[in-house]
Structure 1
Amino acid sequence: MAFAKEQLQTLESTLTIWLAVRRPEAALRDKIDLGYTIKNQDIFLEEIRPIWNKPEEMGRYAFAKIKYEKATELWKIYWMRGNLKWHPYEPKPVFGRLELALEEIMKDPYHCFFG
């Protein structure tokens, strides 16, 4: 089930602020950038960069997934392992607010999201 219209506006506002703080400077954005995609109850944080064998085309590569669990009103974060499957982020996979989940991903103390 997708987010309600009001929720979606709040999420997009939060993600816009996150992008404003985290995006590379404008001169680099044709080489590397950050973005997001919202699908149903999931937010995918993405790296946007040229496709290696088609440098004239930009590819979007998800590096983190944040899932909203409506029943508990919690945000769960996931990282993609080498098998290309999403796995819960340990040691702290659950957050009460989206902002806290985004902050943990950007800190990346275990190098799951940025290597």
Structure 2
Amino acid sequence: MAFSELAVKQIERAAAAFLEARRPPAGIRHQVDLQVRINEQSVEIVELRPHHSDLSKAVESPTAKAEYVNETQRWRVYWMPSDLEWHSYEPQPEVKSVDAFFALVNADENACFFG
């Protein structure tokens, strides 16, 4: 089930605030940048870098993901280590809101999301 229009607007507002705080300066965004994607029932943060042999192409590295669970009305938090598989973020596997998800990722207290 996809997010409602109201939920999408709330996610977009939270994502914009996160990107404002976390995105690299405009002058280096051609080298590294962040993007937030809204999917069916999840929100994903992706790091973008130019491909080493073709600078016109971007290499995407998923960084963090939150998946909304209707039954509990909570967000499950995931991170992607070097094995390139999503893993539950064990220090805090769930949060109550999308704002809490972005705050958790921005703080990155365990250096799991941005190293």
Secondary structure in 2 matching 1:81: coil
Bigger strand share: 1
| Matching residue's letter, 2:108 | D
Structure 1 stretches of 5 or more lacking a match?
none
Structure-2 residue corresponding to 1:82: 82
| Matching residue's letter, 1:12 | E
Deviation at 1:59, TM superposition (A): 2.5
Structure 2 stretches of 5 or more lacking a match?
none
Structure-2 residue corresponding to 1:58: 58
| Matching residue's letter, 1:65 | K
Structure-2 residue corresponding to 1:25: 25
Query: What is the TM-score normalised by the length of structure 1?
Result: 0.91
Report if the CA contact (8 A) 2:19-2:34 is conserved.
yes
Structure-2 residue corresponding to 1:93: 93
Deviation at 1:82, TM superposition (A): 2.4
4+ residue segments displaced more than 4 Å:
none
Structure-2 residue corresponding to 1:45: 45
Give aligned pairs, total: 115
Secondary structure in 2 matching 1:56: coil
Secondary structure in 1 matching 2:99: helix
Deviation at 1:69, TM superposition (A): 0.8
Query: What is the TM-score normalised by the length of structure 2?
Result: 0.91
Q: CA RMSD in A?
A: 1.3
In structure 2, C-alpha distance between the alignment counterparts of 1:113 and 1:22, rounded to whole Å? 12
Structure-2 residue corresponding to 1:7: 7
Identity of aligned residues (%): 32
Deviation at 1:16, TM superposition (A): 1.1
Report if the CA contact (8 A) 2:79-2:87 is conserved.
yes
